A and B are shown apart, each in its own frame.
Chain A
Amino acid sequence: GQNIDQPTEMTATEGAIVQINCTYQTSGFNGLFWYQQHAGEAPTFLSYNVLDGLEEKGRFSSFLSRSKGYSYLLLKELQMKDSASYLCAGDSGYSTLTFGKGTMLLVSP
């Protein structure tokens, strides 16, 4: 099985940078997903890391260290619309994804 841990809540200011951490313990590991979810809506895909290192996509970047069982999502130049829940999900490569409980990010002016 898999165990995914991430902080429950974070706050940041518009224009700032925020890093959301995720640690995982798994019996099998294929990669790690990050999803964004606004209240009452479906999660939307942000990134998928398979190899160690940083992957950048515009204002969002995601990092993975397989040896440490650790990932983070980096959000730059924060905007008010980035206020959402960010879900970390481990992919065992077998059948399903295991989701963390999500990190609620609140961006203030």
Chain B
Amino acid sequence: DGGITQSPKYLFRKEGQNVTLSCEQNLNHDAMYWYRQDPGQGLRLIYYSQIVNDFQKGDIAEGYSVSREKKESFPLTVTSAQKNPTAFYLCASRTRTDTGELFFGEGSRLTVL
């Protein structure tokens, strides 16, 4: 079955540590996205990628980094520079950036201790 797989589902980290969230899709989609969700804030865009080896900052990119070395994969690193990283992170993909519905992974919940 085609879909988006995020891992880990739950993650705990200590302050000052970097952590990488995995996102893999087998839908053959060109466009991939990372959103952050906080209570009462809706979904906010962190980074997106339209094609391999290219990505753009979203509205809240500070403290995050991404890579897009393969079409199927779009990992997100939450760095120690992110001041308030505890949140629910959602990866999504779309056929292209200008068309089609957005498909979401199941999400990764990051808690900083």
Interface size class of A (residues with CB under 8 A): 20 to 34
Stretch at the interface among A51-59, A65-73, A97-105: A97-105
Chain A, 67-102, contact with B by CB distance < 8 Å: what is the 0/1 string? 000000000000000000001010001111101111
Q: Which residues of B contact A45 (CB under 8 A)?
A: 101-103
B2 located at the interface, meaning its Cβ lies under 8 Å from any Cβ of chain A in the complex = no
Flag if A48 contacts B101 (CB, 8 Å): yes
Interface size class of B (residues with CB under 8 A): 20 to 34
Partner of A96 from the list B40, B42, B97, B104 (CB cut-off 8 Å) is B97
Q: Which residues of B contact A94 (CB under 8 A)?
A: 97-98
A-side binding surface: helix, strand, loop or mixed? loop
| Assembly CA distance A48 to B44 (angstroms) | 20
Given the interface pairs A87-B42, A100-B42, A101-B40, the reply to whether A95 lies near B105 with Cβ below 8 Å is no
| Assembly CA distance A44 to B41 (angstroms) | 18
| Assembly CA distance A33 to B56 (angstroms) | 22
| Assembly CA distance A102 to B103 (angstroms) | 17
Flag if A95 contacts B56 (CB, 8 Å): yes
Q: Which residues of B contact A8 (CB under 8 A)?
A: 40
Distance (whole angstroms) from the CB of B92 to the closest CB of chain A: 8
Residues of A that sit less than 8 Å from B by CB:
8, 30, 33, 40-45, 48, 87, 89, 93-97, 99-102
Q: Which 9 A-B pairs have the closest CB atoms?
A: A101-B42, A42-B104, A99-B43, A95-B97, A45-B101, A99-B42, A42-B106, A93-B98, A102-B42
Residues of B that sit less than 8 Å from A by CB:
31, 33, 35, 40-45, 48, 50, 56, 58, 88, 90, 97-99, 101-107, 109
18 contacts between A and B (CB under 8 A): A8-B40, A33-B101, A33-B102, A40-B107, A42-B104, A42-B107, A45-B103, A87-B42, A87-B43, A93-B98, A96-B45, A96-B48, A96-B58, A96-B97, A99-B35, A99-B43, A100-B42, A102-B42
